[in-house]
Structures are given as structure tokens and as C-alpha cells.
Chains A and B, each alone.
Chain A
Amino acid sequence: MEAVQGLIEGFGVALTWTNLMWAFVGCALGTAVGVLPGVGPAVTIALLLPLTTKLDATSALIMFCGVYYGAMYGGSTTSILLNSPGESASIATTLEGNQMAKRGRAGPALATAAIGSFVAGTIATILVSLFAPYVAEWGLQFGPADKFALILLAFTTISAVLGTSALRGFAALFLGLVIGFIGLDATSGQIRFAMGIEELYDGIDVVVVAVGLFAVGETLYVACHHQTLAESVERIKGSIWMTREDWKRSIGPWLRGTAFGVPFGAMPAGGAEIPTFLSYATEKKLSKHPEEFGTGAIEGVAGPEAANNASVTTALIPLLTLGLPTSATAAIILTGFQQYGIQPGPLLFTTQSALVWGLIASLYIGNVMLLILNLPLVGMWAKLLSIPRPLLYAGIMIFATIGAYGMRNSWFDLFLLLVFGLLGYAMRRWDFPVAPVLIGMILGPRADTELRRALQISQSDFSVFFTRPISCTLIVLSVLLVVVPAFLRWRKARRFGTPA
């Protein structure tokens, strides 16, 4: 078995003292930023990118992935103790979790979230180990046309299927594509869209865009629109341990939540929030205590928390095997790979097998670390929530400027940071999703390259995208994902006589 052999090699890499330490640093940082409002895993990893010049690739990527899934653990603490989810994947947890906390059951809510995350994370990691090599093998058959079609599918799902409006999602995506064009074109060696500004010849750095859109944009939004909103942090009273009854009511939701999360993560569609809502709705229907829903049913915490952890873990399958990130954070991890000149994709499992299996092995270890960090030590993280907001956001802004300025000590990058901060504010205010900007910016140049490569091989014959079965299927799927919902809305609007 390839997986067993790979894992033996991987544990050899992951269990060295250095890599254990970096996994721990990543998990602890991830938990912290998951707990803290205003800063998330995408921004954190972007700010850590300078470390790639100091660390070897395996250690750095183990740490980045620790931040990535650690934030999911930390996020549940905030959802339960503070009635405001840190991100969309935690909304479902907030519904019941905060109610439980208000009724003095914060402990069991945190416990079922942490243990559920552990169960889901571990099952999903086993599935990653088993299936990733096969997906990579399948990916080897992809030609340029197929790769282009795959990116197209990811673009469509990320901007049209997730979020409230396909149109605004696409607006965000295409904005990202324009940003991605800026600078040197790899295929022709031409500079594009630099407007004669020397600082733009190398393109705009991902760090500036990510930190500006997410951290600065969020800070401005919270300051301008949540100025006087009082948030009360629930105290953790009594035992954090679950009763026998809690266990009995949690196990089913954990497993079903995992089952919802796994396919959603593995598909090149992304979005950890859909499976959490599916899980929540299912548990509400199946529960023997439906009357408790809305006032703190433990099933409503256990299921969604398992679902979001399962889906972020299996989202590593498309990232590692096809080089396809399905979330903003995964896109930044992809940038991390590229800092080392490594391109994730089908060849990763053969050319970098020690790295990729070391990374997968570290997921098993990281989940154990996170269980310990988030269960017995949860009180420590909860203290982060009592940092006064002026100081918290002021601190975040210092880190934001260092991320932008530290790269080349140019005031121009601070100017860009402000521009993207204002853009991030406006997008948040008028309900444009932000993640498609980053995905478009990072994947856009690759889509451009594959498109031109495919057309070069076919001698400018566009039918190449429809004569190859993989490419044709993916393109048809992308088109259907946009057209079918639009058609259904149009028909519904016509039937009910409201303007479309």
C-alpha cells in the first residue's frame, strides 16, 4: 500500500524535534488567531511568509498547515463564548453553542466541539492519506486544457455557488484576475498593467492584498459599524467535561458531520460553511430532543464542528494533488509552496514525497496537539477574548503594516495596503465576497498560462477544450453551475409574477 509506506516515511519526517516544534507553534498560533476576532488564518499565514527564507520547506509548511486547521479549533471557542462567529464556517456552531454557554453549559459545548473536531480531523486525515495518492495519479493525465478547465470550475464554485450573489462573487473574482495580471507575464516576458510604476513590475504581493483586504478591511468595518456594540463574553462555569448523556448525544453528530464535511472539502468547490448548515439541519431533524434546538442542544454544536474540520482537512486533497486551493487560506499556503519553487500538483507525491507525507503525518500529530491545547487549556485561550478591542485592533494594524513594509521597505507597499484596506471595507460593506479576489489573483496567471499552452498545442483551435473528455466535463459543469440556478430563479420569479 502506497499510503502505509508513505506514512511510515512521513512520520519519520514529522516526528523529528524540529518539526514537532513547528507543528506545535503552528497549532498554537492557529488556535490563538481562531479565537481572536479581526485576524484569521489567511492573514496569519501571509504574515508568516517571510519565515520561508529562514526555515526549510517541510517545517514551514507543517507550521502553515497547523495554523490552517488550528484556526478551526480556536474558532469554535469564540462562537461558543462570544455570540459572534469569527468566520462563516462557525455560524452554525454559534446557534446552539452560545445558547449552551448562556445556560452555564459552556464546558460541555467546548468539549464536544474540541473532541468532535479531533474525531473529524483524524478521520478526514486518514481519508487524505488513502485517497490523495490516487487523485494525484489521476491528475497526471491532465493536459493544459484540462488544467484550465479545472481552474475554471474552481473559479465558478468559489464565486457563484458560495456567497449570496453570483454576480457580486464574479465581480470579486474578476477584480482578482485583473490584479493577478499586473507585472511580468511568464509566457511572453512582457510587463502588463504596470502603468510605468516600477514597484509594480514584479506584480502586487499576495501578502499586501490578503492583509489589506482581510485585516485592514475588517478593522475599518468593525470600527465604523460596530463602534458601540457591546459584546459579552460568557464565562466557563463548572466542569468542562461532558456527562455520559452528552457523549451519547454527540457521537452520532460527530460522525454524520464528518460525512458531510469530507466530500465538500475534497471537491474543488471549497466552502466549509455549506456542510455545517447541512449538518445542523440534519441533527435538528434526527434529534430526540428537538425542543432543545434554539436553546442549546449539544447535537447542534457537535455536528457542525465536526463538519467544518472534516472539510478543511480534505480540502488539502485538491491543494496537494492538483495544486487547486479552494479557500483564501489554502491559496496562501499554495503561495508558501511557491516560495520554495515547489508547485503542488500530481508530481508532488513523487518529487517531494518526504515533504508531502511529512505534512500529512503532521496532521495526525497536530490534531492530538490541538485536542490538548483546546480542551484542558481552553481557559487560557478564552482569556484572549478579554483583550480590550481598541488594543487588539491597534495591535493587528501594527502586524499588518510590518507584513506589507517588511518585504522591501517601500512606502508604496503601505500605500497599497491602505488601498486594499479601503477596498476590503467597501466589499464587506456592500456584500462582495473577499476570498474570490485572492483566489483569482493567485490562480489567474496559472489559468492564463494553461489556456495559452493548450491553444499553442492545438494551434489556436478552441475545440481542444471540448474534445478532451476531462476538460469538456469540467467546463460543462462550470457552465451549469451558473446557468441552472439563474434559470431556476428566473422561472420562480415568472411564476410568482415578481420582477426577476
Chain B
Amino acid sequence: MPQAPRRDRAQLVISALLIALALFVFYQTQLIVADGGYSAIGPRFSPMLVAGVLLVIGVLLLRQALAGGWRNMEEATPPEPFFAPAFLWIAGGLALNMVVIGFIGFTLASALLFVMVARGFGSRNLVRDGAIGLVLALAVFLFFTRVLGLALPASPAGFF
């Protein structure tokens, strides 16, 4: 059955990104210092090979995307459409964690992350989430620093 061509914009973008990655790898490979090695095949050889195959994969995916979409995607449809608030709460929580962890310490930053992720999953119970997040983060902090001897930043208050 000939199908009407259905172009999925995400598929086009991802194919294009793979092609861009292949070109980027080509470009970066030229920057690898290849002289001075005693080996016949230098450090550029495999990256060139990989970039070449990646380019072919990207082009083939792009061709499929232009001609009716990628193959065998029937089961890949998610059960619900994209829910942006969840994405923003969680990705934002991780980004914020990255920024503040060095200033307010692991425990407080993790408790904040905990609250934001829980919010992303639809929890509205701020007090409960904050309390559980704080206790869990503190327990993890003490376990990793005291038992495993891993270095983690403490809060400005010092102890935790």
C-alpha cells in the first residue's frame, strides 16, 4: 500500500544533527596531532572511519525521514503527548542543582532538586517533599562522606 509521505519534523532534525555530528568529527579529526607517532596508522584513522559511517547513517535516516518516516517506529509512540511542565521542572532542577551545589553545599542543593523533581511528577505537597528530600540528602551525604570517604561540598553552615 503506497502511503502518503508523512514528514516528521523531529526525525528530520535528528537526522540532520547526526550528519552535523559526522562533519564535526571530520573537522575535529583534522585537529588531532598525528605526527611523531611511530605507528603506521595514526590516531586519526579510526575517527575518520567512524565519521564516514556516521555520515552514511545520517544520510540514510534523512532519506527515510523524507520518504514516509523512519522504519519500524510503530511501537515508539508514547502513551501521552509531551507534557512540558514536567520536563521543565526536572531539567530545570538539574540545571539549578549544577549552579548552586558549589555555594549551598550538597545537602541543601539535593533537597532542592528533590522538591523540583517531585513537583515535576505532579506532587503538590511541598512540606512533605522538602522534609523527605532533606532527610534523604543528609543521610546520603553522611554515608558518602563518612563511610565511603568521598569528598562532597558541605553547606555554608559547615557540618552538613
Verify B40–A229 contact, CB threshold 8 A. no
Assembly CA distance A422 to B90 (angstroms): 11
Q: Which of A190, A390, A431, A459 gathers most chain B CB within 10 Å?
A: A390
Picked from A192, A216, A391, A460, the residue with its CB within 8 Å of the CB of B94 is: A216
Verify B117–A50 contact, CB threshold 8 A. no
Closest-CB distance, A499 to chain B (whole angstroms): 7
Residues of chain B lying within 8 A (CB to CB) of residue A168: 61, 70
Closest residue of chain A to B114 (Cβ to Cβ) is: A394
Verify B114–A174 contact, CB threshold 8 A. no
The contact string, 1 if C-beta is below 8 Å from chain A, for chain B 51-80, is: 001100110110010011011110110111
CB of A429 closer than 8 Å to a CB of B = yes
* A window 411-440: CB within 8 A of B: 411, 414-415, 417-418, 421-422, 426, 429-431
Closest residue of chain B to A462 (Cβ to Cβ) is: B41
Residues of chain A lying within 8 A (CB to CB) of residue B95: 418
Closest-CB distance, A98 to chain B (whole angstroms): 17
Assembly CA distance A219 to B21 (angstroms): 26
Assembly CA distance A421 to B33 (angstroms): 32
CB of B99 closer than 8 Å to a CB of A = yes
Verify A227–B54 contact, CB threshold 8 A. no
Verify A418–B91 contact, CB threshold 8 A. yes
Knowing that A225-B79, A401-B101 touch, tell me 20 more A-B residue pairs with CB under 8 angstroms.
A50-B148, A164-B73, A171-B58, A171-B61, A181-B47, A188-B39, A195-B28, A221-B78, A225-B83, A228-B122, A389-B121, A390-B118, A390-B122, A393-B118, A406-B152, A409-B152, A418-B98, A431-B73, A455-B41, A456-B40
Assembly CA distance A499 to B21 (angstroms): 29
A-B contact count, CB below 8 Å?
223
Residues of chain A lying within 8 A (CB to CB) of residue B123: 388, 390-391
The 7 closest A-B pairs by CB, nearest first: A431-B76, A390-B123, A225-B78, A390-B121, A390-B118, A414-B98, A223-B86
Residues of chain A lying within 8 A (CB to CB) of residue B121: 223, 227, 389-390, 393-394
Task: Offer 8 A-B interface pairs, CB within 8 angstroms, sorted by A.
Answer: A221-B78, A223-B86, A394-B114, A402-B110, A411-B102, A448-B46, A451-B46, A452-B45
CB of B108 closer than 8 Å to a CB of A = no
Assembly CA distance A192 to B40 (angstroms): 18
Residues of chain A lying within 8 A (CB to CB) of residue B42: 188
Verify B113–A401 contact, CB threshold 8 A. yes
Residues of chain A lying within 8 A (CB to CB) of residue B117: 219, 223, 390, 393-394, 397
Residues of chain A lying within 8 A (CB to CB) of residue B14: 426, 430
Q: Which of B80, B90, B129 gathers most chain A CB within 10 Å?
A: B90
Residues of chain A lying within 8 A (CB to CB) of residue B79: 225-226, 229
Residues of chain B lying within 8 A (CB to CB) of residue A395: 114, 136
CB of A141 closer than 8 Å to a CB of B = no
Residues of chain A lying within 8 A (CB to CB) of residue B114: 394-395, 397-398
Residues of chain B lying within 8 A (CB to CB) of residue A192: 28-29, 32, 43, 47
CB of B20 closer than 8 Å to a CB of A = no
CB of A357 closer than 8 Å to a CB of B = no
CB of A4 closer than 8 Å to a CB of B = no
Verify B129–A402 contact, CB threshold 8 A. no
Residues of chain A lying within 8 A (CB to CB) of residue B157: none
Q: When A409-B151, A452-B45 are in contact, do A228 and B80 touch as well, CB less than 8 Å? A: yes
The contact string, 1 if C-beta is below 8 Å from chain A, for chain B 114-157, is: 11011111110000010011001100100010001111110000
* B window 1-30: CB within 8 A of A: 1-2, 10-11, 14, 18, 21, 25, 28-29
Verify B70–A165 contact, CB threshold 8 A. yes
Picked from A50, A224, A406, A409, the residue with its CB within 8 Å of the CB of B83 is: A224
Assembly CA distance A167 to B39 (angstroms): 33
Picked from A216, A221, A402, A421, the residue with its CB within 8 Å of the CB of B140 is: A402
CB of A236 closer than 8 Å to a CB of B = no
Residues of chain B lying within 8 A (CB to CB) of residue A219: 90, 117
Q: Which of B93, B102, B120, B148 gathers most chain A CB within 10 Å?
A: B120
* A window 437-495: CB within 8 A of B: 447-448, 451-452, 455-456, 459-460
